Each structure stands twice: as structure tokens, then as C-alpha cells.
Amino acid sequence: MKLFSGLFCYDWSSSNNVVYYLHIFSNKIASQQYVGSMMKKVVACMLVALALSGCKTSPTGRTQIMLYPEQQMDEMGVASFDQIKSKQAIESEKSSNQYVSCIADALIAQLPNKYASQKWEVVVFKDDSANAFALPGGKIGVNTGLLKVAKNQHQLAAVMGHEVGHVIAQHANERVSQSSLLQAGLQVSNAVMQMNNIEYRNTIMQGLGVGAQVGIALPFSRSHETEADIIGLELMAKAGFKPIGAVELWQNMEKLGGERPMEFLSTHPSPDNRIQRLNNKMHSANSLYQAAKQQGLSPNCKM
């Protein structure tokens, strides 16, 4: 993986290259006190390179870092979906498949052209968990367990719209890019401390790993979930599904119960916060829904 900064191209995928670039500075490091300053400079350089190499803008206007070509992500999505199909039982009941496909078709018709023109594959899996997912490359999976929690087409459209929202916002690319950069940052920190024989290096590295996960990775995932909620809400409304179905769906999810980790340590927003944010967007979503009705968009998907 290469990151570009100014006139320099750093290949962070090679640990030898990392050590080589750090070695340039080794003669300047005379004490442990310098390491903190040095690490800050290294991280700053990485951030500059990052900003110059893969900045994009999400559908909601958020700045994103994406280092991988869309075609590569599509290929990964297709391969992953094929693997899932080979391992999980697929629902053969015609009514369930037609119901889910009906909702998917209505949502896909409202996507930006490059996604709407794709050939999408929609599969219902025999799985009791209330879950659904969408992958780059035009793949949607819905578990039979979700059909028991999403009581009508509007509620199911909320979940499917959310999952498709992850795809059109290229969240998978962002997550893979983030993971690569996170590993590179930890390698740099480890190399700096190793060169200077820092005491408790292993303990410090473990702490950095946990800190990065809580401070960077998890909040990033929560921001994806919130963004997908917004995209999904707008998408379902444009397709002619009632936006209130999104709130009702998460109320159903909340009733399922079970212990949940506090939001700070969870990759997903809590249902309460999710419902509140959806309600905050309900006025604009209802406007989109009314506009869809005026255009004659009124899905009638039933099992």
C-alpha cells in the first residue's frame, strides 16, 4: 500500500521500508524524551500523506479516506457473497423471495445511476437472526429471522435501505483503508520504540492497540452506521415507503432485549439514540415520501 505526500511515495506495506525511513532519523534520537516528539512527527507525516492520497466525499458530505479501487472492492464483495451462499442455507419459499425482491427492486430504482444500472443479486437466507447485509458488487442478503421482526414492507425497507446505504457510501472501502492505516501506524510506533530500547514496549504497544480500537476504529464504525441510517431513510422515502417504518423497526429491535454494551464500546449506536436521530430527520424524509407518492411510487410488497 502506497501513500503519497508531496514528492515522496512511502510504501508502508513493507516493514523493511518502514524501518529504513525511520533509520534516517535514528541519529537524531538521543534520548527517550525525544521519542514522544518523534512519534508525533511520524504520525503527522502519515496523516498528511493520507489526506493527499485518498480523500473522497460521502453522499452526506463527510470527508472519507478510500485507498482501494472500486472494482477491487466489488470483486471482494462478490467473492464474499459466493462464500456465504456456499455455507448458509438459502430459503426456497417463493413468497419470501418475491417479497424481499419486490422491496429491493423499489429501492434499487432510486439509487444513483451507476448503482441502479448494476445487476443486483438478492438472496434470502435461512437464518433465525434478525439481520440483513449488502456488499459491494450488487449483493443483498436478508435472513428469514428479520422477516419476523420487520412487520411490514416499510420496516423491512428501512433495514435494506440502510444496508444498501453502506454500499453506496463505500463504507467497506473506508473500513479496509482504515484498518491498513491503523496497522501501519502501530508498526511505525513499534519500530521507533524498538530502535530506542523503550522499556515496557510490548505493554505500550498493547495499550496503543486498544486505544486505537476504542478511539478510532469503533467511533468510525458508529459514524458509518449513523450515515447509513440517513441514506437508508432518504432512499426508502424516495422509493415510496413510509419513513416512520424506520423508527418502528428499531423500536421492534429494542424490544428484543438482551444485554448491550454501552454505546462508547459498541460499533453500533444504541437503539434510543438511533431512533432519536431518525426522528430528527423525519420531516425531510416525509417530504421525500410525499413527492414519491405524487410521482405514483407506491410499492405494494407482500408475503
pLDDT, tens only, 190-213 = 555 555 555 444 554 454 344 434
Q: Which residues are catalytic?
A: 163
- If you search the block for the grid coordinates 440517513, which residue do you land on? 230
CA gap 292, 236 in Å, rounded: 10
pLDDT band for 270, please (50, 70, 90 cuts): confident
Q: Provide long-range contacts, Cβ within 8 A and 24+ apart, for 24-32.
A: 26/195, 29/195, 29/196, 32/196, 32/198
Q: Looking at per-residue confidence, does 277 or 33 come out higher? A: 277
The mean per-residue pLDDT over the stretch 177-192 comes to 62
The mean per-residue pLDDT over the stretch 260-272 comes to 57
pLDDT for position 255: 85
- The C-alpha cell that represents 108 in the structure block: 434499487
Cross-strand bridge partners of residue 11: 2
pLDDT for position 265: 41
Give the lowest-confidence range in 27-31, 75-79, 120-124, 219-223. 27-31
Give the lowest-confidence range in 157-161, 193-197, 237-241, 263-267. 263-267
pLDDT for position 2: 34
Count of H-run helices and E-run strands, the chain: 13, 7
CA atoms lying within 13 Å on the CB side of residue 139? 19
The mean per-residue pLDDT over the stretch 103-128 comes to 97
Helix axes 244-255, 153-168, angle to 10 degrees: 100
Give the percent of the chain with pLDDT over 70. 61
CB-CB neighbours of 77 under 10 Å: 18
- The C-alpha cell that represents 123 in the structure block: 438472496
CA gap 291, 297 in Å, rounded: 9
Answer whether residue 220 shows pLDDT above 50: no
Answer whether residue 260 shows pLDDT above 90: no
Q: Looking at per-residue confidence, does 251 or 67 come out higher? A: 251
CA gap 4, 41 in Å, rounded: 16
The mean per-residue pLDDT over the stretch 117-121 comes to 96
The mean per-residue pLDDT over the stretch 128-152 comes to 95
Question: Residue 234 in 3-state DSSP?
Answer: helix
User: What residues contact residue 79 under an 8 Å CB cut-off, 6+ apart?
Assistant: none
The mean per-residue pLDDT over the stretch 80-97 comes to 96
The mean per-residue pLDDT over the stretch 206-225 comes to 51
**φ, ψ dihedrals at 199, nearest 5°:** -65, 150
pLDDT for position 72: 86
Buried b (16+ CB within 10 A) or exposed e, 89-114: eebeeeebbebbbbbbebbbebbeee
DSSP string, 183-211: HHHHHHHHHHHHHTT-TTHHHHHHHHHHH
Q: What is the pLDDT of residues 14-68, one digit of tens each?
A: 333 333 333 333 344 334 444 455 555 555 555 555 545 556 676 777 766 767 7
